[in-house]
Structure 1
């Protein structure tokens, strides 16, 4: 068994089985950031100039239309700050789009509504059929794979793309950013949520009802067909401007009465349980290591601060028990049944049909042609 090691520069460690260290103990996540991403990431005058050109095109294409773009909003820090930047700094007219998968926290609902009201925007909410979502999520629990958040993630992506295509909206604003996400989750932790071969296999084995209304979109459809045939483009404005998360959250609190969350992605009750308890306790994967390492590399957190936070569980034991009961009740199963899934043998995405090789090839092609710049996953 491999000896446990932690990077001497960030806090990524050998729970990422593919991690590689140099002679100084610095990991390949750090090297990838420094060598592949940093030279091509500009948030100074160059970035602002590039962003202005994109914004001018969005505004021109949106002339005479009620909205010039669409953006998905979860109520989290990234999407909330993006909305502020898009409207207040860039002068865009987005249709704010929210997908309700049945797991919104009350804080998220308040954050979304508070910003929408203050900015005078329209909010479109798509509600996913709960019986279908519940069955889909249970099939992932039964499959025993780490990424049980696929049903929720896939719904968010597919619904947004489907709506944009149907209503001929050419620009999707996305809160994804290098500033807080320059280190990517290892594939074994969070496998792709748009692998339709995997989804179909898991659904065939463990699903109990047909998903008649649940939205699907394959990666080929939204990465290639919608992008290059239909002309739907994803724009990530936060990659062109300085984005210091702590400062952004303070501004959101002051301007909109926005409330922070204990951890990134905790705007969803399910994701809170999944990333805060299920993933670290069952599989040993703590997504805070990825999140904190991103902040370390971008100068927003010290390694010492990160290690101190990691010395404590993401979710205290008493809170975890309450969340365990809540999740079971919401899914319509007993606590014992949910505990049975927790204690069952761990599986990986490679135990089921998958298109990993196609995803890897696509990522290499997109990186080669300069469409996407991403550090190691």
Structure 2
């Protein structure tokens, strides 16, 4: 990490706060040892027991990316769980991501449920976020995925959501770069200011819904990759060799919009390179060396051809003229604090939220 993350600070030994945070998370949330395997085996037994007389034991989100695809393999093939995969189609899938999803569910014999967002409505929400000039314009997609998984689990009475979020590749991310996606109040505030289409079908969870589904109804969110030794390069090779999965390039590049967001929007408008956060996590987890990360970061996030094609495609789908989008890029940058949000609420009840998080994510 570097000073493009405004909150970075170093101790007397030259260790930054992000590395110290990683060490804390490692102790609290990672169980990739014999104890973790024992906990996981116990969990699998609990899931199977609770799944008796139900059609499915668990639910997973499936994007076609490496993490979700490997989770699909684990729950279905390795642990034999009857699995429902849920895929959110937000209108930005690459052909490769679609092919990966189809290949995974076919090879593993998993039922797939695809939820297609209303494009007119979702397009309006995305445009609202772009016009808001905040950095995390992926909040509408990330929130929709999170809400869809939880609502589907509740509707189908599936008590366990097995997720691909993990410590070793995703535990370092400055909030100044990407504010979290669970804040439905922020989504409503930005859409009310810039949107034109009424929000009717977009999957959304309020703070009350969060408490209802995860505490009262008892839906569990299990980050299974934190309970095994998870090495991303090994997972990619395994998926390629055994399941015919194909790599799509950068992290989350299975989506055209996400690739545009990572490789163009953030670097150009804010000067943020998210690869620094992901590579930092891989350094901390020992999966790559600092020298390898520095070599990787010298490469462009995507080729000039891909960047130009993605820019043209995004402008066309949003019906932006080049001049209009250039004005958006040059507009003063803002943060979530410039709009109504639940940040103060979440911070006020941080200790309670931490306890709740342990309850719903730990075995």
- CA distance in 1: counterparts of 2:182 and 2:248, whole angstroms: 27
Whole-Å separation in 2 of the counterparts to 1:143 and 1:127 = 25
Contact 2:86 2:114 in 1 (8 A): yes
Residue of structure 1 equivalent to 2:154: 165
CA displacement, residues 338-359 of structure 1 (integer Å, 9 cap, x when unaligned): 2221121111111111111222
- Give a deviation string over 1:259-280, Cα, whole Å, max 9, x none: 1121111111100000111112
- Cα distance in 2, alignment partners of residues 372 and 244 from structure 1: 26
Are 1:64 and 2:58 counterparts?
Answer: no
Q: Per the alignment, do residues 370 and 349 of structure 1 end up closer, same or farther by CA in structure 2, a change over 3 Å counting?
A: closer
Partner of 1:264: 251
Aligned to 1:314: 301
Shift of 1:368: 5.1
Alpha-carbon distance in structure 2 between the residues aligned to 1:236 and 1:39: 13
Structure-1 separation of matches of 2:115 and 2:156: 14
Is the Cα–Cα contact under 8 Å of residues 86 and 92 in structure 1 kept in the other structure? Answer: yes
Measured on the aligned residues, the alpha-carbon RMSD in Å equals 1.8
Residue 188 of structure 1, aligned match among 159, 176, 193: 176
Secondary structure of the corresponding residue to residue 97 of structure 1: strand
* Aligned CA distance change for structure 1 residues 36 and 165 (closer, same or farther; 3 Å): closer
Deviation string 1:296-354 (CA, Å, 9 cap, x unpaired) is 01111111111111122212334222211110111222232222211211111111111
Q: Displacement, 1:90?
A: 1.3
Q: In the superposition, relative to structure 1, how do residues 373 and 282 fare at CA in structure 2: closer, same or farther (>3 Å)?
A: farther
Give the Cα separation in 2 of the matches to 1:368 and 1:200: 27
State the Cα distance separating 1:373 from its structure 2 match: 11
Closer/same/farther in 2, CA of residues 370 and 167 from structure 1, 3 Å limit? closer
Confirm or deny: 8 A CA contact 1:288 1:310 kept in the other structure.
yes
Structure 2 CA distance, aligned partners of 1:182 and 1:21?
18
- Tell me which residue corresponds to 2:206: 218
The aligned counterpart of 1:153 is 142
Partner of 2:326: 339
Match of 1:78?
Answer: 67
Mapping of residues 272-283 of structure 1, within 5 Å: 272-283=259-270
Q: Cα deviation per residue 1:64-113 (whole Å; 9 max; x = unaligned)?
A: 22211111111111000111111121111110110101111111111111
Change (3 A) 1:239 1:267: same
Shift of 1:363: 3.9
What SS class does the counterpart of residue 164 from structure 2 fall into?
coil
* Aligned counterpart, 1:14: 3
Q: Are 2:63 and 2:101, in contact at CA under 8 Å, matched by a contact in 1?
A: yes
Question: What are the within-5 Å matches in structure 2 for residues 348-367 of structure 1?
Answer: 348-367=335-354
State the number of aligned residues.
361
Out of 199, 203, 210, the position equivalent to 2:187 is: 199
Distance in structure 1 (CA, Å) of the matches to 2:199 and 2:29: 42
Correspondence for 2:41: 52
Match of 1:178 in 2: 167
- Normalised by the length of structure 1, the TM-score is 0.92
Give TM-score, length-normalised by structure 2. 0.95
Q: For 2:358, what is the secondary structure of its paired residue?
A: coil
Q: Work out whether 1:121 is the aligned partner of 2:101.
A: no
| Contact 1:43/1:242, CA 8 A, preserved across alignment | yes
In the alignment, is the contact (CA less than 8 A) between 1:104 and 1:269 conserved in 2? yes
| Contact persistence 1:178–1:239 (CA under 8 A) | yes
1:367–1:373 Cα contact (<8 Å) kept: no
SS of match in other structure, 2:113: strand
Q: 2:18 aligns with which of 29, 35, 44?
A: 29
Structure 1 counterpart SS, 2:8: coil
- Does the aligned pair in 1 maintain the 2:221–2:360 contact within 8 Å? no
Deviations 1:179-235 (A, max 9, x none): 21122x21121112221221121111100110111111124422x221110111111
| Cα distance in 2 between the residues matched to 1:200 and 1:35 | 33
The CA deviation at 1:156 is: 1.0
Sort the Cα spacing of 1:369 and 1:144 in 2 relative to 1 into closer, same or farther, 3 A.
closer
Query: CA–CA distance in 2 between the matches of 1:127 and 1:284?
Result: 32
Cα drift, residue 360 of structure 1: 2.4
